[in-house]
A and B are shown apart, each in its own frame.
Chain A
Amino acid sequence: MSDALFSDETLRQMKSAIEEYPSRASAILPVLQLAQKEKGWISPETIRFASELVGVPESRVVECVTFYTMFNQQPVGKYEINVCTNISCALVGGEEIYGHFCKKLGLKNNETTKDGLFTVRHVECLASCGSGPMALVNDEYIEHLTTEKVDQLIEEWRRKG
């Protein structure tokens, strides 16, 4: 098994996640989540690695990677912008905000800019319905979005790179 695929710290956390459960298979999601945190996506090598580490067939890992929508099955941008377009956000302009992100970045759903900086998606309710329109950007909720705020954010992220 190629332990070198992940940093020592990530490996340590993966192994301690397995210890948390009465059954090793329960650690599939935690292990994949840690993998995605380090690599940004779940590659075929990661799938092989996780199946060996947890001790389940690869098909079982693939099932999870394809069922849970937050797993990225290909590389994504540095800023993963997930805009909620579900009902409560839509009532206060969520769909316009999603459209504005797409237009500003020249992207369609689930596409990534050529510079590797941005990926945009529309997503279902993120339990932030009272503070919409909103987006989950990497691991931060950004609420009460307006088109002006979107412009500012994109500019700021571009500056930071």
Chain B
Amino acid sequence: MEKVITRNWGKPGSATIDGAIANGGYKAAEKAVKELDSKTIIETVKASGLRGRGGAGFPTGLKWSFVPQDTGKPIYLCVNADESEPGTFKDRFIMENDPHMLVEGVIIASKALNCHHAFIYIRGEFFQQTKIVKQAVKEAYAKGFLGKGIFGSDYELKVTVHNGFGAYICGEETGLINSLEGKKGQPRIKPPFPAVSGLYNCPTVVNNVESLCAVPWIINNGADAYKKTGTEKSPGTKLFSVSGHVNRPGVYEIPLGLPLTTFINDPAWAGGIWKGRKLKACIPGGSSVPVLTAPQCEGVNLDYESLAAAGTMLGSGGMIVMDETTDMVHMLKILAHFYAHESCGQCTPCRTGTHWAYEVMSRIDAGEGRMEDLDLLIRIADGMAGQTICVLADALAMPIKSFVPKFRAEFEAKIKRKAA
């Protein structure tokens, strides 16, 4: 497999602009700005089959094609570098190891969208990563790759690096837009979709860091070359960040379609379960997606369709691996706490549901639960899913509805222990 995103990681100087240029960086941006028109870039990205890497998997080229070009309003690109989904730490590695690949992706996407002001929205806790990205942007300005008349053309692009300040919900695209406008990062009701009315009520595209980083390679090598890796409906490569009970936690670029158990066990990837123990469960795509039991992991491939067929999702590619000693009740309590803490509070089913679920999980975990609590949890989850402005409510409903039935005996045991 040819590496698309991680190809320069670890090479000397790869985080500097001279290192990036020596590694072939900015060639695609120069080509896009000087030789390609908007339509050609969008068609190429569409043909590559690239799907958004931020969680929802929406085709990137298609998203770009929805932006109306004739409204007379400015068009904005927002880079989603808010990375706060538990288990996910891939965008951080991109920014640390190859920030110029992101800047190059931003230039090409902006050219495709006719955007002249792009924003890189980075979570506030990323003080160091923000410094790195700001430096990369500064270097790109100095070389004439950003600003007025870039690469000697008449195209102009301004890039602003903006920090969030501790709110997971700002990763949701309309929450991010509100936050950029200097408001609480509360998601907006859709429609209107950001493509039509986003930042400052102008046409806006929000893209994940990794999505944009695949674009320079696609422009350099063509859509067909990109499709050689991966599966038919999930082409290309994907970064997986793996954490929990494995020997080699970290960020790995894999061809989509790789068997899940190969990824967990192969010494080239996660390197097997730690301490010689057995796999108990795995959350393949970040904390919001349904958990798989060890037997369910067999025969599943890491691509959008195969994971959906297994009743879960690829999500952000943040894989959380749990060994046989893991207390699943306690883990679900932690997740309930997270979503209760991060609910923005606009929708009653989410605001009350996440807190109620956390209370119920707390008493079960403390050994003070009742058997009826297990059905109650499912009822709470049913009352949340699909009932709200954004999918944060679903993001807790899905773990509840997979943890409770799949590990029911463990929940019951904790409840019974106190009663005994």
Q: Does B195 contact A (CB under 8 A)?
A: no
Type the 1/0 row for B109-142, where 1 means its CB is closer than 8 Å to any CB of A: 0000000010000011111100000000000000
Contact at B124–A129, with CB atoms within 8 Å? no
Q: Report A17-39 residues with CB < 8 Å from chain B CB.
A: 20-23, 25-30, 32-33
Which of B2-10, B39-47, B60-68, B86-94 lies at the interface? B86-94
Contact among A32, A71, A86, A92 with B86 in the assembled complex (CB-CB below 8 Å)? A86
Which of B28-36, B335-343, B374-382, B406-414 lies at the interface? B335-343
Residue with the highest number of chain B CB atoms closer than 10 Å, among A32, A86, A139: A86
- Nearest to A139 among chain B residues (CB) is B127
Q: Does B168 contact A (CB under 8 A)?
A: yes
Q: How far is the CA of A23 from the CA of B201 in the complex (A)?
A: 12
A/B pair count, beta carbons within 8 Å: 140
- Nearest to B345 among chain A residues (CB) is A67
- Nearest to A54 among chain B residues (CB) is B182
- Nearest to B126 among chain A residues (CB) is A127
Q: Does A153 contact B (CB under 8 A)?
A: no
Contact at A29–B184, with CB atoms within 8 Å? no
Q: Report A109-151 residues with CB < 8 Å from chain B CB.
A: 123-132, 136, 139-141
Contact at A130–B243, with CB atoms within 8 Å? yes
Given known pairs A86-B86, A127-B89, A130-B241, the reply for A68 and B318 (CB within 8 Å) is no
Q: Does B19 contact A (CB under 8 A)?
A: no
Q: How far is the CA of A71 from the CA of B250 in the complex (A)?
A: 30
Contact at A91–B117, with CB atoms within 8 Å? no
Distance of A65 from chain B, by nearest CB (Å): 9
Which of A7-15, A56-64, A97-105 lies at the interface? A56-64
Q: How far is the CA of A142 from the CA of B168 in the complex (A)?
A: 21
Report A-chain residues with C-beta under 8 Å of the C-beta of B251.
130
Report A-chain residues with C-beta under 8 Å of the C-beta of B244.
87-88, 91-92, 129
Given known pairs A124-B338, A130-B250, A132-B243, the reply for A64 and B162 (CB within 8 Å) is no
- Nearest to B202 among chain A residues (CB) is A22
- Nearest to A71 among chain B residues (CB) is B165
Distance of B38 from chain A, by nearest CB (Å): 22
Contact at B163–A63, with CB atoms within 8 Å? no
Task: Please report the total number of B residues contacting A with Cβ < 8 Å.
Answer: 53
Contact at B200–A70, with CB atoms within 8 Å? no
Contact among B87, B117, B164 with A125 in the assembled complex (CB-CB below 8 Å)? B87
Report A-chain residues with C-beta under 8 Å of the C-beta of B417.
none
Contact among A82, A129, A136 with B318 in the assembled complex (CB-CB below 8 Å)? A129
Contact at B123–A33, with CB atoms within 8 Å? no
Contact at A127–B88, with CB atoms within 8 Å? yes
Given known pairs A68-B166, A131-B249, the reply for A87 and B87 (CB within 8 Å) is yes
Q: Does B53 contact A (CB under 8 A)?
A: no
Contact at B164–A56, with CB atoms within 8 Å? no
Report A-chain residues with C-beta under 8 Å of the C-beta of B243.
88, 91, 129-130, 132
Report B-chain residues with C-beta under 8 Å of the C-beta of A67.
167, 184-185
Q: Does A85 contact B (CB under 8 A)?
A: yes
Contact among B117, B165, B167, B320 with A22 in the assembled complex (CB-CB below 8 Å)? B117
Contact at A90–B127, with CB atoms within 8 Å? no
Contact at A29–B165, with CB atoms within 8 Å? yes
Distance of A130 from chain B, by nearest CB (Å): 4
Contact at B89–A68, with CB atoms within 8 Å? no
Q: How far is the CA of A127 from the CA of B286 in the complex (A)?
A: 11
Contact at A29–B182, with CB atoms within 8 Å? yes
Contact at A87–B128, with CB atoms within 8 Å? no
Q: How far is the CA of A22 from the CA of B204 in the complex (A)?
A: 14
Chain B contacts to A: CB under 8 angstroms: 74, 83-89, 91-92, 117, 123-128, 160, 162-168, 179-185, 200, 241-245, 249-251, 287, 318, 320, 322, 326, 330-331, 334-335, 338, 341-342
Known A23-B181, A125-B84, A129-B318; 15 more pairs at CB < 8 Å: A22-B74, A22-B200, A23-B182, A29-B163, A29-B182, A63-B183, A67-B167, A88-B244, A90-B331, A92-B244, A125-B168, A125-B338, A128-B89, A130-B89, A130-B242
Chain A contacts to B: CB under 8 angstroms: 20-23, 25-30, 32-33, 54, 56, 60, 63-64, 67-71, 82, 85-88, 90-92, 123-132, 136, 139-141
Smallest CB-CB A-B distances: 9 pairs: A70-B166, A130-B249, A139-B127, A129-B243, A69-B166, A68-B165, A25-B182, A88-B243, A28-B182
